[in-house]
Structure 1
Amino acid sequence: MSHEQNEMLRTAMSQAPDAETVAQDLARQLIHPHLGFVLFFCSAEYDLQALGDSLRHYFGGVRLVGCTTAGEITSQGYGRGCVSAIGFDHRSFSIACGLIDEMDRFNLFEAQQLVERLVGDCRSNSLAPIKDHSFALTLLDGLSSREEVVLAALSAAFGSIPHFGGSAGDDNHLTNTHVYYDGRFHSGAAAVVLINTWLEFEVFTTHHILPRDEKLVVTHADSHARRVFELNAEPAADEYARLIGVPVESLDHRVFAAHPLAVRINERYYVRSIQKAHPDGSLTFYCAVETGIVLTAMRTGPLMPNLEAVFERLEQRLGPPLLTIGCDCFLRRLEVEATATVAQASAFLRRQRVIGFNTYGEQFNGMHINQTFTGVAIGRPGGRACR
């Protein structure tokens, strides 16, 4: 890759244990005269107050947006307890960002105002037309339970602009997730980033989940809390455990990852991953669930062949990727770890120049989904001619 291409999208990582050294590491790797924006993903184990202050100090006036994770994807593949970052050259990327600080109250009018401002900011740089040359990234508080409301409003406001994103994680503790905007970390919030570029790109999503014959009807649920009390008129956890053939006491993240449920919309299945089982026999989900919906029992297919096929198709269209920003569900990572294929997956992500994070949910064109790999592949100048 040429020096010029390297400056378009620089990548960085730091495994330093303290916040100030992390900020120093990232600044040393990313800062150059044309740096216009930094996107980062960090372990929730850091002192977030100190990390926010240090990043603001070492990056000066450069805008940064980021979030906490359930695992990082770095230039070396999968990482844990570290920070992974991307620096965007303002000569190739015009970037505008905003914060939704009260996801509970966000509505279509506010979404339209936000998107109009972002489009205006990007357009003022006269880099490329907005239409067909822009995509949006959303980073949402992964424990807010308000992703669907926010995404519905944003999807209507974005119109034909493709958008994707991920829900922030907290290293699988399920207690506190944060997004970073304007120099500090926020909870209960969402960061929205509009990226305009003259480079070719494609927003995509994929999963390796296959349908079984069995169905489960949600017969009692609290949709606001994403909590299901009954499936097929039986205690939800008991019915789910019976369906997959395990004792209810053994239900945990790894069981949920191996035996997902999904809702069918037209001909596509959208996974509704289970977050936890409760002592009262109810189940909490990562996505919206309502009384009356039908859930299809699913099984996992081969993960790596599915991912390899998607990237082969992307390369046929775009050429070798300059970079891919990836939102990879943490349940997929648990599956990779359980099947001892971490080294294989990491090597593949490294070859495809994927930078991103393991999420508590993914977003794709207004849909909040689970157990997917969702992202944007950005092509090199010249695209297919570079192969």
Structure 2
Amino acid sequence: MSRSRGIRSGASAHPDTGKALREAIGRGHDTPGLVCVLVPHQRDRDEMTSVLRQSFPGATVVGCTTAGQMHWGSYQDDIVSVVSFAASECVAVAERADGMSSLSLKDGYGLGMRALGRLRAQGIEPNASSCFALTLLDARFGNEDVLMTGLRSALGDIPLFGGGASDGLAPRDVAVFHDGAFRQDCVVLVLVSLRRHFKVFSTHHYRPLPEDLIVTRTDARHRVIEQLNGRSAGEEYARVLGASMAELQQSDAWLPPMMVKVGTSYFTRGVARIDQHGFLHLACPVSPGLQLRLGETTALTESLTALEQEIREEIGEPELILGAECLMRRVEAQSTGQLAELDVWFRRNRVVGFCAYGEQYRSMHLNNSFTGIAIGPRRTVSRRDEEIARLKSENERLRRVVDAQREQVDRVMSAGSDTFGLFQNAVLLEEMVQRRTEELAEANRKLQGELARRRRTEEALRQARQEAIKANQSKTQFVAGVSHDMQQPLNAIRLLLGRLEHELLSSGGAKAMRQIDSSLQTLETMLKDFFDISKMDAGGYVVSPSTFRLGPVLQDIVREFQPQATSRNLKIKLVDSSALVQSDLVMVQRVLRNLLSNALRYTPSGRVLLGVRRESRGVRVAVIDTGIGLPEDALTDVFRPYFQINHPDVVVRRGSGFGLAVVERICTLLGVRIQVRSVLGKGSNFSILLPYGRREDLPRLSEEKPQAAIPTPLSGAHVLVVEDDRAGQEGLLALLEAWGCRAMAVGSPEEAETFLMRSDTAPDLVICDYHLGLGKTDGLQVAQQVAAQAGMVTPPVVISSDPDPSLRRDITASGALFVAKPLKPARLRATLASALQTKGTGKI
């Protein structure tokens, strides 16, 4: 018994068949994945069947009868050999086709496809780098070439080897073991996914003599050559060999093979005997007109030494070689005295195998060859494996070549050609595969160099990316700081303009104030859009999807824009909807506001429609206008920053040039595609598709009945302003005093605390900037502390220029009120009135 981790092999020559098999099995594997049994043909098969069923229930067990075996040494006639692979090393499936004598190309193809299907059913995708195929067959019927061609069509480039069951030079009582029994007239195909390095090989030790022998008459059905060069085949064969035909007809005579050239290689056609008529009986088919040469033998160990070097270079030292060797090689080794040298080679390379009646290698059926699989150490996922995976596209090209060759095989079969035509096709196919394999190996070497260069490039790119991320973070922080600082003077200007509204101005002064207000609105819009784009590009916005009713959202937006439309004699029409959608409510509102504002700006007359249509994938919301429209070449540019249409009918002030750019970026964040259709001079249609929401995901509403609105004047209200910007303080104080409030301003939390300690009258309301001082103190927390210290029942009002939608959500979720900077006097006044109304109800 020989063992390596995951693979075990054992042999026994005990005269009792049952004991011999049990000794060969030894302890075996607790959970074998594959078991291969090689038994002498004269052993008791019923006894072996019983032992195998008891020893390996549920395992894939295959085997065959032999005419001698090798087990880590030279040929032996009466030993029982067992090789087992642990389930941790392989996954194996076995399929059988009965009626070997009548198998067709289609049958061979079907056999291969069934095995592939069973392996795939276990979650394994068969491929040439991790799978191999083994055939064990009844070789008495001369149908191997048809079978191998069909199998090759199914298995593609998965390597295959195998051998014919035997019981001597003229096999009669051969059998193949599968599915718990020994069977005849069949073939068994084993498909194995192996977690080890391996190499499937075939070798022979002949070279062709120079004289050509032309086949002039055959009995193709029985693989018999009757004439060579128009003369008796036996006499011509003996003449070239330098012997008499009578000597060669002796039963113990070893007969050198014939060789045929296909493509660039020579292949052996084994000569079994010369009959009394002088006919040559071969083990493989031939055709009339074929050019043959007699094979001259070389030392068996020369070819084996070259094979050993090839194996060790590819997979390292083999842990096991499982092989099928032509019975004629054993006959030759015995007659030429080379058994001792073979014994050394077999032992050194851990060979376990059997003497076969014909061998199979890839798509070919061979004679006088040694064919098998060398198994090396356990395979791990390596860089090389990854590189090979990158060559899948190249392998696909090879598959196309194979497919073309299969079609040629089909044509040969349809034309009624003999089986030698199939062998020729198989050889040519293998040569193409070999050439392509060499090309892939060269491509792999180049790829390794390219991968090394790419790794260096990727490392440089990674470092550059890190630097870019740092620079982008710095830019984002800078933009946020600039946004806050620039909003402060704009906020002060807005507040002072609100104060001037309460002054008596001349007609010229009023006109100038309106112009200042218009310019200020344009500047505010430009800055807001610019900062929004910067923040979105830097990944500063977080999408917070929720389920909401679409109808109320659309109604609010239409009410907001109705005064603007009325002032320009335009109609806004709303197609209401009861649909539920799931998206970010604040971002959807921003998109629709920008689209509606854009539509009103570029519609000199007519109407604007805010429409809704249900589709299978969601709700489409469209803003459709009867405005100036867009030329076709502008449809791809309309979402670029600064893009604007100059048109004489557009009498309103121009926008910031960022509105639709903001829309596109928000839609990208939401995962929503925006569509635009437009006809120059007739209008435009901008639409987005929002996914449906589920009713069960709607937020639960309070069951408390809403209170009726109680108008609360601001006159006389005590208001404390916490604002660190001096201009902002002055603007707010001026505006609050114009509304009749008693206002006081402080610049920090500490000043607010001091003011409350010294003041005799507690403020009714606190207004606090969200960002206070260089440390960007949390204004919400300050406002809540001031409200608590003063004992206020009114919610604090937080003001901020920060465009982050999540900030507004956090502030309102805390119970405070929010007003965005730059402050619009009307909105601020309404918010303060709402806060003081809460005081009247006694609720926060």
Choose the corresponding residue for 2:86, options 81, 86, 89.
89
CA contact (8 A) 1:140 1:191 kept: yes
Q: Look up the equivalent residue of 2:299 and give its one-letter code.
A: P
Instruction: Please give the alpha-carbon distance, in whole angstroms, between the structure 2 residues aligned to 1:339 and 1:46.
Output: 29
Q: Secondary structure at the residue paired with 1:213?
A: coil
| Contact kept? 2:196, 2:375, Cα under 8 Å | yes
Matched with 1:346 is: 343
The answer to whether 1:153 aligns with 2:150 is yes
- Structure 2 counterparts to residues 114-153 of structure 1, below 5 A: 114-126=111-123, 130-153=127-150
> What is the distance in 1 between the residues matched to 2:217 and 2:49?
42
Matches within 5 A, 1:214-293: 214-251=211-248, 252=250, 255-257=253-255, 259-293=256-290
CA distance in 2, matches of 1:256, 1:9: 36
**Candidates 12, 22, 30, aligned match of 2:10:** 12
> CA separation in 2, counterparts of 1:91 and 1:308?
32
3-state SS in 1 of match to 2:212: strand
- The 3-state SS of whatever aligns with 2:211 is strand
User: What is the aligned partner in structure 2 of residue 367 from structure 1?
Assistant: 364
Counterpart of 2:176 (choices 174, 179, 194) is 179
Give the greater-gyration-radius structure (CA): 2
Distance 1:222 1:53 in 2: 43
Match of 2:38 in 1: 41
Q: Among 64, 69, 82, which residue is 2:66 paired with?
A: 69
Cα distance in 1, alignment partners of residues 294 and 128 from structure 2: 39
Distance across 1 between alignment mates of 2:314 and 2:340: 27
The one of 14, 19, 22 aligned to 1:21: 19
**CA deviation after TM superposition for structure 1 residue 39, in Å:** 0.7
Deviates further, 170-179 or 373-382: 170-179
Instruction: Give the aligned partner of residue 100 of structure 1.
Output: 97
Amino acid at match of 1:115: G
Offset of residue 144 of structure 1: 1.9
1:57 aligns with 2:54: yes
Distance 2:350 2:232 in 1: 45
For structure 1, the residue ranges without an aligned partner over 5 or more in a row are: none
Higher RCO by CA contacts (8 Å cutoff, separation 6 or greater) = 1
Q: CA RMSD in A?
A: 2.2
1:296 corresponds in structure 2 to 293
3-state SS, counterpart of residue 60 of structure 1? coil
Alpha-carbon distance in 2 for matches of 1:18, 1:145: 34
Q: Distance between the aligned counterparts of 2:280 and 2:226, measured in 1?
A: 7
CA contact (8 A) 2:21 2:80 kept: no
- CA positional deviation for 1:367: 0.9
- Could you say which residue in structure 1 is the equivalent of 2:314? 317
The answer to which of 7-16 and 337-346 deviates more is 337-346
2:73–2:351 contact (8 Å) kept in structure 1: no
Which has more strand, going by share of residues? 1
Any conservation in 2 of the 1:256–1:274 contact (CA below 8 Å)? Answer: no
Matches of 2:51 and 2:30 in 1, distance apart?
20
- Structure-2 residue corresponding to 1:189: 186
TM-score of the aligned structures, taking structure 2 as reference length: 0.43
Cα deviation, 1:102-134, whole Å, max 9, x if unaligned, reads 123323433333323322322344467534211
> Structure 2, unaligned stretches of length 5 or more?
383-844
- Does the Cα contact within 8 Å between 1:27 and 1:59 map onto a contact in 2? no
* Distance in structure 2 (CA, Å) of the matches to 1:199 and 1:382: 4
AA at the equivalent of 2:361: F
Q: CA contact under 8 A between 1:64 and 1:183: conserved in structure 2?
A: yes
Q: TM-score, length-normalised on structure 1?
A: 0.91
Give 2:60's aligned amino acid.
R
93 and 254 in structure 1: CA distance in 2 versus 1, 3 angstrom threshold = farther
Aligned counterparts of 1:350 and 1:253: Cα–Cα separation in 2: 31
Give identity over the alignment, percent: 32
Q: What letter matches 1:178 in structure 2? A: A
| Contact persistence 2:116–2:126 (CA under 8 A) | no
Give the superposition deviation at 1:253: 6.7
Q: What residue in structure 2 maps to residue 308 of structure 1?
A: 305
Deviation digits for residues 355-380 of structure 1, max 9, x if unmatched?
11111211111111111111111111
Decide which moves more: 205-214 or 45-54.
45-54
Inter-CA distance 180–194: structure 2 relative to 1 (3 Å threshold): same
Partner of 2:341, secondary structure, is helix
Counterpart Cα distance in 2 of 1:353 and 1:70: 20
